[in-house]
Structure 1
Amino acid sequence: MSDPEYDIVIVGAGPNGLIMGKTYLEVNPDARMLLLDECTSVGGTWATERLYHGLKTNNLEGGYEFSDFPMQGQEQYGLQHDQHIPGTVMNQYMRDFANHFGLSDRVRLRCKAHTVQRLDDGTWLVKYSTQGGEGKVYTRKLVIATGLTNAPFIPVFEGQETFGRQVLHVKDRATYDVKAESIVLLNATKSSFDAAYAYAKRGVQVHWVIRKSGHGPCWMSPARVTPLKKRLEDIGCVRFISWLSPCIWSEHEGFGWLRGFLQQTWIGRKLVSAIWGLINQDVVTLSRYDEHPDTAKLKPWGDIVWYACTLGIFNYDDDFMALVRNGSIKIYDDDIDHLSSDTVHLTSGTQLPAGALICSTGWDHRPSLKFEPPSLAAELGIPSSESAVDSSMVAKANAIISIALPWLTQNRPVIDANYKPLLKMDPETKAAVSDPRTEPYRLFRFLVPPKHLNSSSPSIAFLGFTWAIPTVMVAQAAALWITAFFDGSLKMQQSTMDPEQILWETALHTQFAQLRYPGGFGARFPDMAFEAVPFVDMLMGDLGLEKKRKKGGSWLSRMWRETWEHYSIRDYEGLVQEWLSKTSGTRRTTVAENGNVVLKGRANGHAKGN
């Protein structure tokens, strides 16, 4: 074979791809690995070309780092306590991480993967484009880690051909040289807030259109909330707070009686509603939504409990709302009707002068890759025109969720009753297009195809196709889970799991993900805020590792910490070595010998070398 052959190819070198590569190499140090990425540097969201002036994390210092490579306290990053991490520092950190763990030499940049083909022998062919032409690689195992912010969703508008100005996705605003007196900004996501702040501070008049037919504004909050001034990013990782949130996979957590009281009893549900009401009002007050008629237009349409990763943080140098109050940012509750020369026309008849139209219209959540043969997408459980699970199973899952989680079904609001989807623009033809891939993700544990769990040679996984507030904590656990899955070492792989049970759990969990956050992204892909710690518990259980990780002191002290102390990446330090120690002598290990790949330990198939 003239083309290089790899033991594993990872498509995407952002945070998910990097932690996947580090984890897999730690377990399989002789593996022939390649990471493909279309950007000019590693980092994904934090890649060099995606940086712009003022970009920062929502997380405070210490909140966005891998457990085995701390950023906090390291002089080279120059961070202060409680500082939001600048995008340039995140870019440097990701590059340092890749260098430290031997990934940099395994990354091929400026390579945009576009086609994945399963071959007759069960291996994979990945085709990609470069500035110099086309390339392809063969691999035994494949991880798609492009994530959910890979392909921007750019809408098309009537009259766009006469507009004469740029229509940009907010992702590309760093390429726009602002010379106009005003711009029009569409939709109210966290990226919209960033763009509005940046342009207003440069003296550009911002006309901000929040679609009446959209999802409404996202929630914004200070970094610290409650009278105790706790980090907002930490609150969802406190077990007691997670118990207030309905969760269908909570049995993996081990606190069923407490959840049962809060979610199943009348008095428990009353208490849950009261606490969520207090949290909601606290954020409204701290964010100062109600202090001015124009800032009130930025108030979300539903309570904070119904939003997940659409939540943003006011991580600006000064008061964002002051720019709204003084008119530097003007807000319109309206829809765009059409465009004409230098002008955006709203359905109300208002005409807005525009040097550019910047769309914060999110991302196409479906993979940007083409899968061959065409029937493969449905089999893999990724969005397609066919479902990976039967409709009767989906109906049963909805019924079970209704019974098991009465607070959810009794209180779940309709936030966007007037929602109308925007038409998508083809990036080449600039014409409106429709996409037949209407089915949601149906991945087991949100990571792997349900029909592949019992495979003798599992070979494909998807990492980063969930959103969770503790991004790194979830990614790190999921990367180890995928590594064990490829190795055949998950507890459920030790004895063949009933295929119907696999599909049932997939249907139940993915349906819950759709129902839980009507103000978030749940209808399109799993979106987790208060369910992240129980989700990691579930992965830990599959790996045979300890779920309750607050150690030291008496039983009462440990229980107090488990209940009230937030979980962080520090609770999972040394996770890979912990798993290796736990599974020593029982797992099968892929090792390169004389150019061939063999399997040691439990025999489970065979793979050839070059």
Structure 2
Amino acid sequence: MSGGPPTRDACIFDLAIIGAGIYGIQAARTYLELHPYDKVIVFEGSGDVGGVWSSERVYDAFWTQTPLGILEFSDMPLEGVPDHDTYHGFFPAKYVAEYLKSYVESRIYGGQTLASRIRSHSQVEVLSKVDEGWTLHVKNSTDSAVADTELGARKVIDATGLTSTPNVPSIPGQDNYQGQFLHHKGFALHQASLFSATGPQRIAVIGGAKSAADVAYACAKAGKDVTWIIRRSGAGPAAFVSAKGSWPYNNSNESFYTRLTSHFLVSWFFDESKTRLGRFLYGTGLGRAFIGWVWKAISRKASGLANYDREDGRKNGFHNLRPDTEIFWQNDSTGVCQRDDFFDTIARKVKVYREDIKEMNAHGLELADGTIASADCVIFATGWKTSHPRIKVQEDGQNLTLSLGLSVSEPQASEASNNWEELISSASKQILARFPVLQHRPRYHDGPDNKAPLRLYKGVLPINDRSIAFVGQMLSGNNFRIAEVQALYAVAALDGVLLLPSKEHMRTTVAETIAWNRARYLSKGRHGNWLYWDMVPYTDDLLQELGLHSHRHTSYWKDLLMPCFARDLVGLIEEHRAKTLRARKFQ
């Protein structure tokens, strides 16, 4: 480590949180609500809070995928978005960045703001287990001359999430390219220069998900000559659903985030046997056929919205945006179409190719079919590296990544997979018996993979360690609600007040989660952490294990039909505190 020898800080913190994105913010808020005078520190590698929502990473065409009322925290509504800047409740991400800054500055515990506890430009590089606690080796990420620091903490929450480390593929000939290239993580910082009159005129965007769509749209609206390349050997382009809702819902998200919809998700976190509708849908051939019909109707509606065979997009290859699988399977992810002119702009102004890249040359890219795509700038909207260790986790010099249950790459992955193979195989048979609709999977691309799946209990807790928790490891359509619920679940576990099952039961549960994920979400589910449609049943499952009920409506029909708004979580921490005090009183 550079910058001179580490200096030992005399303070031992009660809790250290790594990452000041929405998961880290909620972990800190939740812990401090319960322990306002404890010593808590939050490390953030960048200069701003919010992670993907930070002001450093939002740009004009970056809009939310979740609407007002749902995309916020329960203890502070997101206000001040003007009507002219909303589209059926969806809105520009810049307002989220402003909201998060205001949030950390306005939360005060023990006389200190949450913002004052965040140490920016502090990258945790090594996490070492020491006795019952941890030592964090922290590097100043802006100045190598500043001495590295070692800090002690009794407990740790890793909130680095899955959108920290850019995934930039290595392309043959990349060193020969004479233009500019960047990952979409840095798109906001370069937007002004990219869109200036003297900036690049020909831009190639690589990737198939919603982030690639936003970048391609933004560049096209700026008058650039845009080429959008989606790998033939990948999972395919994202589907795009309408932002509009059907009565009584204001938008499409509201209709999906209900407990009625949970019946149709084929979710491992939803116990279909507890309702009459669930028993009908999953226990009868007619019910399973009805589930299939509903999802096919959703796919048809989305396809009709895009009109992939439209005449004005034929010469530009607009049809190449047609997803490979139906929306139900989520193998290629889904985005909300938040602009009336999105499809028109892409169809008329963007050349879309569905082909692998053979190599890069001095002036652009050559595709596998021989197509030459000239580009002054290449933007990789290719997602994130999701495997650990982003932080080295060790004890006595030994790597703890495997034993903690984190997703790892070769050569450790084979060892981890072998240890779990029998459990997952047995669980797979049970999952397919429980959900017969998953036995008929479509054809999909499933390329080589060298990563072991995530083996955290409920996606949060290591099976063998009660001093550390991981939040933000599960990918979902709405991370704000999950951040709030995971934070309470993690803190309860670290406090020792969460009644957990035996280690054997936890291992079986983890194996079942992985097996269901792979069957339900195809290649996206291979690592056991893809919960795109499962936000409501997943958070309900965590809160049920915590023994909490205040988030549910007292009316059966409201509980079934009402969207799960952020405000529904108001009072959860107070309920948890009261429950914990009662339990201690009667011990």
1:338 is the counterpart of 2:359: yes
* Shift in CA distance, 78/35, structure 1 to aligned 2, threshold 3 Å: farther
Kept after mapping to 1: 8 A contact 2:515/2:528: no
Match of 2:549 among 540, 546, 549: 546
Kept after mapping to 1: 8 A contact 2:9/2:150: no
Look up the SS of the partner of 2:56 in the other structure: helix
Residue 569 of structure 1 is matched in structure 2 by 566
1:284 is the counterpart of 2:327: no
Look up the SS of the partner of 1:157 in the other structure: coil
The offset of 1:525, in angstroms, is: 4.5
Query: For 1:445 and 1:82, how far apart are their aligned partners in 2?
Result: 33
The offset of 1:13, in angstroms, is: 0.4
Query: For 1:164 and 1:4, how far apart are their aligned partners in 2?
Result: 50
Kept after mapping to 2: 8 A contact 1:465/1:525: no
Residue 91 of structure 1 is matched in structure 2 by 97
1:122 is the counterpart of 2:143: no
Match of 1:43 among 46, 50, 63: 50
Kept after mapping to 2: 8 A contact 1:21/1:103: yes
Query: For 2:374 and 2:483, how far apart are their aligned partners in 1?
Result: 43
Query: For 2:265 and 2:544, how far apart are their aligned partners in 1?
Result: 21
Query: For 1:213 and 1:133, how far apart are their aligned partners in 2?
Result: 46
1:502 is the counterpart of 2:539: no
1:533 is the counterpart of 2:554: no
Query: For 1:470 and 1:161, how far apart are their aligned partners in 2?
Result: 38
The offset of 1:167, in angstroms, is: 2.8
Query: For 2:217 and 2:371, how far apart are their aligned partners in 1?
Result: 23
The offset of 1:2, in angstroms, is: 4.3
Residue 262 of structure 1 is matched in structure 2 by 281
Q: Deviations over 1:290-339 (max 9, x none)?
A: 434333221111111111893212224x512222332x200112111011
Residue 4 of structure 2 is matched in structure 1 by none
Q: Deviations over 1:567-589 (max 9, x none)?
A: 2222211210121122224259x
Residue 474 of structure 1 is matched in structure 2 by 482
Query: For 1:415 and 1:223, how far apart are their aligned partners in 2?
Result: 27
Kept after mapping to 1: 8 A contact 2:138/2:149: yes
Report sequence identity in percent. 27
The offset of 1:394, in angstroms, is: 1.1
Kept after mapping to 2: 8 A contact 1:222/1:287: no
Kept after mapping to 2: 8 A contact 1:548/1:562: no
* Shift in CA distance, 300/122, structure 1 to aligned 2, threshold 3 Å: same
* Shift in CA distance, 344/306, structure 1 to aligned 2, threshold 3 Å: same
Match of 1:515 among 501, 514, 519: 519
What amino acid sits opposite 1:30 in the alignment?
A: Y
1:396 is the counterpart of 2:426: yes
1:380 is the counterpart of 2:429: no
TM-score normalised by length of structure 1: 0.85
* Shift in CA distance, 76/96, structure 1 to aligned 2, threshold 3 Å: farther
Kept after mapping to 1: 8 A contact 2:9/2:149: no
Query: For 2:252 and 2:486, how far apart are their aligned partners in 1?
Result: 23
Alignment of structure 1 residues 439-454 onto 2, 5 Å:
439-452=452-465
The offset of 1:200, in angstroms, is: 0.9
Residue 72 of structure 2 is matched in structure 1 by 65
Kept after mapping to 2: 8 A contact 1:12/1:36: yes
Q: Deviations over 1:249-289 (max 9, x none)?
A: 323x7734432221121111111111111121122222333
1:364 is the counterpart of 2:351: no
What amino acid sits opposite 2:203 in the alignment?
A: I
The offset of 1:93, in angstroms, is: 0.7
Query: For 1:106 and 1:548, how far apart are their aligned partners in 2?
Result: 29
Residue 181 of structure 2 is matched in structure 1 by 167
Query: For 2:525 and 2:406, how far apart are their aligned partners in 1?
Result: 15
Kept after mapping to 2: 8 A contact 1:187/1:209: yes
Query: For 2:490 and 2:584, how far apart are their aligned partners in 1?
Result: 14
The offset of 1:204, in angstroms, is: 0.9
* Shift in CA distance, 278/505, structure 1 to aligned 2, threshold 3 Å: same
RMSD: 2.4
Query: For 2:334 and 2:406, how far apart are their aligned partners in 1?
Result: 25
* Shift in CA distance, 383/149, structure 1 to aligned 2, threshold 3 Å: same
* Structure 2 unaligned residues grouped into runs of 5+: 1-7, 108-112
What amino acid sits opposite 1:515 in the alignment?
A: A
The offset of 1:62, in angstroms, is: 2.1
Greater mean deviation of Cα atoms: 370-379 or 273-282 = 370-379
Query: For 1:549 and 1:148, how far apart are their aligned partners in 2?
Result: 29
